Amino acid sequence: MADFKPYSESQEKFGTWLIRNIGKWQVAVYRATGGKVWNTFLGAPCAILTSIGHKSGTIRRTPLLFLEDGNNVVIAASKGGMSKPPVWMHNLRQHPNCEIQIGAKNRMVTAREASPEEEERLWPLLTAIYADFSQYRARTEGVRHIPLFVLEPRKTN
């Protein structure tokens, strides 16, 4: 694998702007078409995560690559390999009950961070669907750990 260095401050600023703005468009198109349009990114499947803002308490929607693992959905808090984690990670830590839209189907789920053993099993599966996850992990090595979140079907009472 090539030697990937952390992004510069200006690269991160631009990347954050790009992710935020393209993400808004993708969410709008994905939701308007029931997940029929803009449902992949470079060949990898995309879903829309709906979470509650950890500071604002408002609804936040984020397009994310995902892996289905049995009844669970797995997402990576990679933010493209940037030094700071995505805001949605803080949202899920504060408010783990969330929703994931895959295609036209919305699933009510509860998020939890994957254990180290789960990460060992799941990272190769994620990298198989989107090879750049390896680059993201290399860029953040020694800077931050990229956690995986497991979204489990919400238990109903």
Mean pLDDT by 10 residues, the chain (157 residues): 79 89 95 96 95 96 97 97 96 98 98 98 98 96 96 86
The single-letter DSSP state of residue 99 is: E
Q: Under 8 Å CB-to-CB from 93, ≥6 apart: which residues?
A: 54, 113
Rounded Cα distance between 122 and 131, Å, is 13
Q: Under 8 Å CB-to-CB from 130, ≥6 apart: which residues?
A: 41, 42, 43, 44, 65
Q: Under 8 Å CB-to-CB from 99, ≥6 apart: which residues?
A: 49, 50, 106, 107, 108, 109
Q: Under 8 Å CB-to-CB from 121, ≥6 apart: which residues?
A: none
- Supply the pLDDT for residue 83: 95
pTM: 0.93
Contact yes or no for 27/19 (Cβ under 8 A): no
- Supply the pLDDT for residue 114: 98
Residue with tokens 């992990």: 137
- Supply the pLDDT for residue 1: 47
- Supply the pLDDT for residue 155: 81
Rounded Cα distance between 155 and 67, Å, is 21
- Supply the pLDDT for residue 4: 82
Q: Which domains does the chain have, with CATH numbers?
A: 9-153 (2.30.110.10)
Helix (H) / strand (E) element for 40: namely strand 40-41
- Supply the pLDDT for residue 2: 57
Residue with tokens 């990576």: 76
